[in-house]
Homo-oligomer: A and B are copies of this chain.
């Protein structure tokens, strides 16, 4: 691109050194604020020259020399899912606090070229890569390893790998289902996440545990898998409500699907919460503006992003990591849950 040309006249460390009448090693030390002692007077001269010339250090040269970039990558499946917004914000704050920049990419725009994208990131653009949510194939994982890029799975566990940070999805599900049980529900269905999703697996697990703890044997017919999208939730809920013995409550694995669930209930001429109670995982800003305002389980998504960044940057990339962020999981009771209806429909 034409831009490259424009940078030809760039100010380098040598220009600064010449102007300040010192060696460029001195300039480097001043710029990097090394512990090495430099005469205050000399430092001032260098600083002045830097200001006068508008010097900026060149990351490429620095990276080449130090074999590090000062950047952390975060790869997510889709920017449209607001859950990631929270994770990103947490990671961004943590990265900046440690003097790194965070660079986010997704496979949404990359399509089937995710591997190429990861490869490009691995060519030394980042010092490490956080892989959130989406499916990473073994081939992709190998690519990263071959490139020597440290990585860490975020919000999902790997098949054969043990480098991940997750939330306590199991407990979140138990909190949600526990709330429904407390209200007196016994026939509780689950709009689960997609079959492949690790978060979905753990939430389903928690759902079953909570039921069993209350002496209720989980029924397979009361679980319907759905994408983490409104459309997915709509279909799954429609199917569950059309069954012979419909549930009185739905535990939904994700806010996005809950949006579709509410529509499905309404379209069947039923009311939330009078006929059906609904509770979902993740307390996004949106939840309180749905109709009715949605009861949710708040998960520490920002902490997850922050902790992941921390672990990526501060642990040996060759050692296993399997951490569950234990920050509080809160039940946020709004209008979508109530006692079950008296008479059987």
Which A residues have a C-beta under 8 Å from some C-beta of B? 1-4, 6-8, 10, 54, 56-61, 63-64, 66-71, 73, 78-80, 82, 84-86, 88-93, 95-96, 101-106, 108-111, 113, 116-117, 119-125, 127-128, 146-150, 229-230, 234, 259-260, 262-263, 266, 285-286, 288-291, 313-318
Contacts and interface: CB of A to CB of B under 8 A. Distances in A.
29 contacts: A1-B128, A1-B313, A1-B314, A3-B148, A4-B66, A4-B68, A6-B317, A56-B123, A56-B124, A56-B146, A57-B123, A59-B63, A60-B60, A60-B61, A73-B103, A79-B79, A79-B88, A79-B89, A82-B82, A96-B109, A96-B117, A103-B125, A104-B104, A230-B285, A230-B288, A262-B289, A266-B291, A290-B291, A291-B291
Contacts of A113: 96
A85 B83 CA distance: 12
A1 B68 contact: yes
Given A59-B124, A80-B285, A93-B109, A4 B88 contact: no
A8 B66 CA distance: 10
A6 B144 CA distance: 13
A109 B102 contact: yes
Contacts of A313: 1
B70 A120 contact: yes
A76 to B, nearest CB: 9
Contacts of A58: 64, 123-124
A113 B286 CA distance: 27
Contacts of A92: 105-106, 108-110
Nearest to A230: B289
Contacts of A56: 119, 122-124, 146-147
Given A69-B60, A80-B285, A289-B260, A4 B109 contact: no
A174 to B, nearest CB: 28
B317 A3 contact: yes
A271 to B, nearest CB: 12
A85 B89 contact: no
**Oligomeric state, in copies:** 2
Nearest to A71: B125
Residue in A1, A90, A102, A111 whose Cβ sees the most chain B Cβ within 10 Å? A1
Contacts of A104: 79, 103-105
Nearest to A143: B56
Nearest to A57: B123
Contacts of A234: 289
A200 B22 CA distance: 53
What are the 7 A-B residue pairs with the smallest beta carbon separation, nearest first?
A92-B109, A60-B63, A103-B103, A79-B85, A60-B64, A80-B85, A291-B291
A79 B84 contact: yes
Contacts of A61: 60, 64
Residue in A70, A117, A150, A289 whose Cβ sees the most chain B Cβ within 10 Å? A289
B285 A2 contact: no
A69 B128 CA distance: 18
Given A89-B79, A89-B108, A3 B127 contact: yes
Contacts of A102: 105, 109
A265 B116 CA distance: 49
A275 B18 CA distance: 75
Nearest to A93: B109
